Structure formats: structure tokens, C-alpha cells
Amino acid sequence: MLPTSSCAARIACTGAVAVFAMVAGSLVATPAEAATVVGQGTYENDDPAVTLNGSWSRVASNQDSGGSTSSLSGAGYAELSFKTSGIRWVTRKNSYSGMADVYLDGVKKATVDLYSSTTKTQQVAYEVTGLPESAHTIRVVRTGTKNAGSSSTNIQLDAFVAPDVHKPAAPSGLRAVVSGTDVNLSWTANPETDVKGYRVYRREGSSTTRTQIGSTTTDVRTLKDPSRSPGVTYTYDLVAVDTSDLVSPYSSAASVTMPISAKGAGTYEDDDAALTLSGAWSTVKSGMDSGGSYASLNGAGYAEISFKTSGIRWISRLNSYSGIADVYLDGVKKASVDLYSSTTRYQQVAYEAKGLTETDHTLRVVRTGTKNASSSSTSITLDAFVAPDIYPPAAPVGLTATPKTGSVQLGWTASPESDVIGYRVYRGAATGAPTAVTTKPVTDTGWTDDGLLPGATYRYQVTALDQGGNESPVSAVVTATVPMKALPAGTYEDDDTDALTLKGPWSRTTSTGANTDSGGSFSSLGDTGYVEMSFATSGVRWLARTNSSSGQADVYLDGVKRTTVDLYSSSTKFAQNVFEVDGLPETGHTIRIVRTGNKNAASVGRNITLDALVAPDVYAPAAPSALKATGTRTGAKLTWTPSAADDVASNRIFRRAAGSTTDVLVGEVPAGTTSFADVGLADGASYTWTVVARDTSGNDSTPSLGAAFTNAGDVYAAFPQRYATCPTATVTVSTRAQLLNAVSSATAGTVIRLTPGSYGANIDVYTAKGTPDKPIWICGPRTAVIDNADITRGYGFRVNGASNLVIAGMTVRNVQKGVAVLNSKAVTVADLRVENIGDEAIHLKNQTTDSTVIGNSIATTGLNSPNYGEGVYIGTAQGNWCLYNGCEPDTSDRNLVAFNDIRATTAEPMEAKAGTSDGTMWKNTLDGAAITSSDTDSLVQVMGNGWVIAGNTGAHTPNDAIQVWNTDTDYGLNNIVYGNAVPDALPGYGVRMPYNDGGNVVGCDNAASRAALGMSNKTCQN
């Protein structure tokens, strides 16, 4: 039954066409006030033409027609009067809508269920067509019922649509105008008010197939058809479309033919005005590409050229980041070209057409946006288009050849033909056909042929090359002979640019230190290149560094490959003879060493190295002369007059013991050195020496005349000033007072003898002046004791400013410092027992010279200050010169330390500081078991110059047995260490020498067989 209305008897409150009454159970129309009857169109839920009866609610939504929908949850209806041939009810369907009855002109037509399990918008819930185009009314009435699956009986209204069934008229006034490579279209607006836009179509040539090229809205009546092909005729028409999507007939057609500007033979680079580049092409400068650049396209577009030759080439890069292009010739697709290559290749012919009629043609290369699966990009590239010329230029004339060092300079007359782009050079041997030696056209009228073999003759011809790739006939032949500068015997270092030809980026590195590179440097080549030298000797040597980062080189002799040399070695080796040839005729030859770029699998690099090239001398130098042997405290000093030869590299010293027939090589010194100290000679033994000069080619002279010498033996064994030789007393003392009085009044020849007893300590001996033949003696037995009973202060004897003084025999103990000798000369400290000392036992300092410490027994020092607990200490620490020595070096020189027994010291048993020189440490017995000083790691430490450390024995060192150090560049030089022995195990070296060698000598007769690091860090001398 009809739902009740809030307007009582009237069903429609406003805008009604009719009212209805129930007559005999049927709903019928009754006359009513006049209503609005609408024509074609879409009438949204909130349109005034729509009657909404009941409590409708509007909900905004961009999913619905017109941006909203209306919903009815109580009694009511929606109604529209119209005069078109049909009507549509458009609504939402969802899970919470019910059912509605649809009435057309008062007659129920359907019950519509608006339920859907998912929400659907703009659904046609009801539609009727084929009505007479007179007034009609549709009413949608809420029934209050629903599908069992729905959660509500609501109904929805989105819009009523009164459809249009009349097509618009065909558009008119279409015009097509050419603008460059584009076609601009325009037309007249249609008169219909419901036209919503236009669709534009194109046909090519004689084809009847239309292709839609664009569409516009009703207010836009122009369109551009871009990038049309030259010479092609295009026909255009269009249709109008109205709001009901009804399409008009086609308009009248408009046609245009695109102009063409065909080019003749030539190369047209990527930036040439003859090309049409459509899209966002970018130009990249590059010396590898034709014309010095190429163009790249990453988006839609194409490149095009028109030409009138019999063919065309597309020149492009191929690489790992290019895609695929379609190639069209005269509008017809000819190929798809894949520009991918795993490596970059330049100036490649990507496409070529030939055999065409010599009329107008157009080539178009179109980016497809596709790629090879291996490529990383879909971009395409253009280097140039080449319209080939099939006529070669004339042969060049005026060819000349001028020989240079290792090269030939060519020149010729420029070709008069305008399309010549360069020249090709051909080279041949003195006989035989020349072959091309240039890979790219030579753009100048000259070219240097480099890397040629000295002394060789070459033949040359040249051709001209034009833009079409045509090559001229060859020119007349010219010949040239490369000059050779054949060097005499000698060593030619890596930096000798007058002798060597170095090609490529060679780098020179200076080397320092002994036993490194010949000439103090070497050169390295890390890229393509070679080194070359011509020589006139019977052979040649290549000296090089070998190491873990070097590669391989090919060696050529007179243009013929002789071998491949591997310069790898696991450790660096200097001045290695890596290649040698001999036995050649003494005429001109050339060696060339070429970097291959290859390497040993174990090497980490491919460089090659050059230290020197040696053209050997096979003639020995003259012998040295005037050899003399003179005895010294170290053994024998040899002097000689050098060989007169100017290529002497070294002098080799040989020694032969009496009764032997064997000459032993005991040393080798540089050519400029004319003296040598041979140390460690056996006492009383006789020897003969000879000297041999060796030149830079390794040739040895005959030996010099011999020089003989007999070693006198131990020069200190019978030292005269010992306790056992103390003369008859001139003064005998038994008390401290007597001793002090006797010392203060002593003069030259005074002999003070102590009887057994205790004499206290702090015995000062100031300015006691003896003479060499009448020294002052202070002597006594071991039972005569100097004792302070306090190791933190005081001293036993302190000698200051004395000369020719002997202190012998007694015991010194329990004092801070045992015996201190300052600013004195010719003082002997002999046969004392010095024990239980707070700091050092015996100290010679402040310019104390020519003095002797001999036969003493020293034990237990450093009880007060372990760092100062030396046994015998000579000089002053360099850092204390200003504190104790007026900021001058302490030159306590020529002092002897011999036959002492030194043990239980907390610091070095013997130490000689920087500033001291020419002293001797001779046959002492040392034990370091008690060393605790934080800065002591040896038994003997020498920082001075010219010391002899010989015949000593030791044990229990913390690290090294004997150390020589440089405190700066002036000290730690010219020291000689030989004949010492350390029989027990030690962690370091037997003898450690400084890095600044400075004339120091280590004898091979030092014995340290259990030293963890070996006998010495310096090569020993026999």
C-alpha cells in the first residue's frame, strides 16, 4: 500500500505533476498543480527538479555522481518528471540498504533490492527506454522491507539521468598548418550546448586507417601534431562528443605535406643543424666520439635526417647502459637496434642502408624505452649520421721524412679537397710493403713516428681520407734512417736522460742507506712505456729492484724479443742483475725493456723498475800502490795510493796469515777510501796484506804489492801502574788524619802507603800534580778500607784537577759514589775493591783524559739509585752538559778501562757517553745479573766516537751485550768492536750498531752464538 505522507492527503508536497488516490485498491493519478518537466540531463539528488518526500538525508562523497548521495530511513519517496525517451535511477548499493518500488506514470514497474555485500557506487538500479518523448514521471518509493542479508531498510538516491539520444553535428572549419616539423590544427566550435569535447584523427599518405592523435575539451579547439616526417602527406579530421557520449560524424578533412631538406654526402654530427632531435637530448663532450661529442636520449623522442645519397649510416656509442631503438627509413620500420655492449665502444656503425636511389630519403631513429636484459638503462645515443661519399680523394704530395732520436718526423702538403678529414700513415722496413701505423685519421699535415729502433731504415707513404670513408691512392715513397748513439762502457743510471730513452710515465725515487740502489735512486713505470739504450760494447746488463709489487717486462735486443723478465720477489732486493747478454760484436746495439702489464700471480702490482743499464767494461783497472801496514791499539792500519783508473768502484782488502797460502777478503771500501783498520789480530802473529781495485763493471785489478806486519800482542798486559808495582813508601799512614795530611802535602814522587785499618771516607785529592816519571802514589792493601757507612751520601776518593796520580789496592765501600775523577789527566785507578756503592763505582768526567781504570773488582752498585748504578762510567750525559760542564761536550778522551771484574751493578757495567772519544775497553769481565735500571738493556753502552771495545767477556744481559748509539749525528761514530764473547743466551744482539753507521766496525770474531737476534745487526769484518 502507499506510505502515508506528512502532507496528509497529498503525496507530493512540492513540484508534483499529479496526486494519487486509492481507487478500488489501486493507486491512480489525480489532477494536481502544474509540475516542472525536465529534458535530457543528469539530475543529482539535491537538484530542485527532484521531489524528495520524507526525511531524506544528504551525505557528501566524491565516490558518487555530483559529489553526494541521499538516504531515506523512513516513509517517503523520490520523484522526477521528464520528457525524454527514457530514464535511469542511479544509486548506491551496500550491505545496509533495503527495497524500493518503482512507479512510472503511476504504474508500479519493479521492486528493486538495493542490498550488496560490498558498497558499490553510481549503480543503475532501474532504467526504462523507448518511451514517447512526452511528459512522464518516475517515483521511487521506500517499502520498509529488505533482503535478509541487509542490516537496514534504507533506500538511496544518487541521481536521475534523462538520456540524450541525438548525436551532435560534425565539426566544421578544420585547418592544418605546417610549423617546422609540427602540424598545427584548429576548427570552429560546435553549436550544441551539450558538446563536451573533440577527438582528432590522422591518416598518413594513402592509408585509410585513422589514428587518434589527441582529444580536447569543448573550450579548446586547437591541437599540435609534433615531429612529423619530412616528405610525408598527413590527412586530419575530427568528431564532436556530447555529454551523453554520443559521437558526431567526421568533419571535412584537411591535408598537409611536410617539407623535406635532403642533405648531400657528409658527416653530420650530433649537434648539426641538419638533424632533427625530438625529445630531451643531452650533449656530452668527448674526445673519443666523432666531432668531439655525442648526444644521449633518456626519454621519449627520436633523431632524424633527410638525405639524397645512395646510403646512410647511423654512428653511435655501444655500452652497458644503452637500450634499443627502432630505425625507420622513409617512414617504414627497418630494424630494432640493440645498443648494449659489455664494454664501451666508440664510433660504431649501429645501422647502415645502402644501394638507395639518389633521391630524397629520411632516416629516423626512435627510442623504444626497452633494453637488453643485461643493460642498466633504456637510453639511446647518437654520435653522427654519415651520408657516404663514394669518390676517393687524390693522393697526398710533398711527403718528407726527417730522422730524430728514436723517431722520424713526417710532413706533407695539405689536400685541396674540402671533404678530406685526415690522413693515414704507412710504414715499412727498408724492404717490403708498408703497413698502416696510424689507427685514427691524422688531422694535421705532419706526424711523428716514435719508438723506432736506432740504426734502422724505414719507408713511408701517406693516403688521404674523406668524410665518406674513402681512401686515396698512396703517396710517393720516402725513406729515413733513425740515428744511433751507441754508448761506450759505463753504468747509466735511471736518471741519465742523455743516455737513456724513457717512454711513458716513469717516476724516480731517491733511495738512502747502504746496499740499496745503484746511483742512489731507481725509476718505476706503472703504465704503458719502455726504456731504451744503444751501446757499443760486447754486452749489456739491466739492474733493477725486485719486490712483491713488480710485474713483468719483455726485453728486446736489436728489435728482437729475447725474453720476458719477472721482477717479482717476496722481499725487496736492490740492484739485481735481472737480464744480461754478452759475447756481442762490439758494434752498435739497442736494448729495449717494455712493460707488459702482466705479473706473477703472487705479485700485488704490475710496475716495472729500472735501477741502471750497464754496458760492461772487460778491462781491469790498474792496481793500487804504496800499501803500508802500521800497528795500532786495534790491530793494523793500512794505507795506500789509489788506482789511477777513473771507473774504480771499490778497493778490496785481502789478508794472508804467515805460513798460509790463502788470501782472506777482510774488507771492501769505496773507491775514494785509501785506508782500512784490520782488527782482532792474534797476539804475536804476522800477516801480509794486499789491495785489489774493482771497477764499476766488476773487473778486478792485479793485487797491489804486499805490506807485512807482526802484531805485538796485548799492549796492556804489562801495564806499569798496578798495586803490585807500588814503590817504597815515602809516607806511611795509619789514621784518617795522617792520610788527609799526606794527600794535601803530596808532590811529584810522593808515595803514600796505607796500613791496614779504616780511614773513613770523602778523601779529596785536589790539584795533586805528579809527573810522568814521578807520579804521586796512594796505595794500600785491601784491608785498608775507605768506608762512609752510608750509601746515600759521600764518596770514597774524589780527584779534581790532578795529573799523574795512582790510586791502587785498597777497598772502597758504603759510600754514594766510589771514586770520582774530575778535570784530571793521567790518573790511574788500579786494583781497588769497590763495593756496596749507592750510585756508580768509578766515574771519569769533566775532561778527564789519558787515564786508566785497571784491575779493579767492582760489585754491588746502585743501592741508592739503581738508574745510576754503573760500574765504570766515562763522561757526562749529553742532557747534563749545561748542568755539569758549562754547556760544552765532556771530552773525557783516550781513557783505558782494562782487566776489571764488574758484577752486581744495577746499570751498565761499562758506559761511555757522547762527547768522549778514542777510549779503550779491554778484556774486562762483566756480569749483568743484578741490572734493574729501567733504561739499561746492555752490558756495555758507548755513545762516543773512536772507542775500541775488545776482548771483553760477559753474561746475563737484559737484551744486547754491547750497544753503540747515535745521540745525534756527531756521536756514535768510528767505534771498533771485536774479540768479545758472551757465552750465555741473550734476547737481543751480541753487538748492536746504530743506524747511522758512521765508520763503526764489528769484527767477525765477536762470539755470541746464543744471541736470539744474531751476533750483530751490522755485517761483520773478518
Please indicate, yes or no, if residue 823 is contained in any of the structural domains. yes
* pLDDT reported for residue 35: 62
Please indicate, yes or no, if residue 127 is contained in any of the structural domains. yes
Contact 441, 421 (CB under 8 A): yes
Contact 773, 744 (CB under 8 A): no
* Ramachandran angles phi, psi of 677, nearest 5°: -100, 120
Residue 747 sits in the same domain as residue 851: yes
Residue 176 sits in the same domain as residue 288: no
CB atoms within 10 A of CB 285: 8
Please indicate, yes or no, if residue 948 is contained in any of the structural domains. no
DSSP collapsed to 3 states, 149-186: CCCCCEEEECEEEECCCCCCCCCEEEEEEEECCEEEEE
Rounded to a whole number of angstroms, the CA Rg of the chain reads 58
Residue 925 sits in the same domain as residue 821: yes
In CATH, what number is assigned to the domain containing residue 702? 2.60.40.10
Residue 681 sits in the same domain as residue 752: no
- CA pair distance 693, 962, nearest whole angstrom: 34
Grid coordinates standing for 196? 563536451
E strand intervals along 918-994: 920-922, 925-927, 938-942, 948-950, 953-955, 960-964, 976-978, 989-992
- CA pair distance 72, 53, nearest whole angstrom: 9
Q: Which of 679, 711, 743 is the last residue of a domain?
A: 711
Residues in CB range of 169: below 8 A, 6 or more apart: 190, 191, 192, 240, 248, 249
In CATH, what number is assigned to the domain containing residue 573? 2.60.120.260
- CA pair distance 826, 824, nearest whole angstrom: 7
Please indicate, yes or no, if residue 447 is contained in any of the structural domains. yes
Residue 552 sits in the same domain as residue 668: no
Ranges of residues in the chain whose predicted pLDDT is under 70? 1-35, 634
Q: Which of 337, 355, 387 is the last residue of a domain?
A: 387
- CA pair distance 158, 298, nearest whole angstrom: 47
Q: Which of 478, 499, 521 is the last residue of a domain?
A: 478
- Its domain, for residue 448, covers 403-478
pLDDT digits (tens, 9 = 90+) for 242-259: 888 889 999 999 999 888
- CA pair distance 522, 543, nearest whole angstrom: 10
Please indicate, yes or no, if residue 849 is contained in any of the structural domains. yes
Grid coordinates standing for 974? 768510528
Residue 280 sits in the same domain as residue 359: yes
Counting the structural domains of the chain, the total is 7
**Hey, CA dihedral for 158, 161, 167, 172, is it positive or negative?**
negative
Residues in CB range of 385: below 8 A, 6 or more apart: 267, 268, 275, 303, 305, 307, 312, 313, 314, 315, 363
DSSP of 643-712, one letter per residue? PS-TTEEEEEEEEEETT--PPEEEEEEETT--EEEEE-PPTT-EEEEEEEEEETTSPBPPPPPPEEEE--
Please indicate, yes or no, if residue 916 is contained in any of the structural domains. yes
**Nearest in space to 637 (alpha carbons), one of 704, 717, 709, 713:** 709
Please give the helix or strand (H or E) that residue 818 lies within, else none.
strand 817-822
* pLDDT reported for residue 490: 87
Residue 783 sits in the same domain as residue 689: no
Residue 500 sits in the same domain as residue 466: no
- CA pair distance 128, 171, nearest whole angstrom: 31
DSSP of 588-606, one letter per residue? -EEEEEEE-S---TT-S--
- CA pair distance 713, 979, nearest whole angstrom: 13
In CATH, what number is assigned to the domain containing residue 767? 2.160.20.10
Compute, in degrees rounded to 10, the torsion defined by CA atoms 915, 916, 918, 921: -140
Contact 303, 276 (CB under 8 A): yes
* pLDDT reported for residue 470: 87
- CA pair distance 285, 288, nearest whole angstrom: 9
**Nearest in space to 937 (alpha carbons), one of 965, 917, 914, 918:** 965
Residue 928 sits in the same domain as residue 811: yes
pLDDT digits (tens, 9 = 90+) for 737-762: 999 999 999 999 999 999 999 999 99
Residue 48 sits in the same domain as residue 140: yes
pLDDT digits (tens, 9 = 90+) for 440-476: 999 999 999 999 999 999 999 999 998 777 899 999 9
E strand intervals along 405-456: 407-411, 420-429, 435-436, 446-450
Residue 348 sits in the same domain as residue 327: yes
DSSP collapsed to 3 states, 735-777: CHHHHHHHHHCCCCCCEEEECCEECCCCEEEECCECCCCCCEE
- CA pair distance 550, 545, nearest whole angstrom: 9
CB atoms within 10 A of CB 672: 9
Residue 442 sits in the same domain as residue 554: no
Please indicate, yes or no, if residue 27 is contained in any of the structural domains. no
Q: Which long-range contacts (CB under 8 A, 24 or more apart) does 641-645 make?
A: 641/674, 642/671, 642/672, 642/674, 642/693, 643/693, 643/701, 645/621, 645/693, 645/695, 645/701
Residues in CB range of 725: below 8 A, 6 or more apart: none
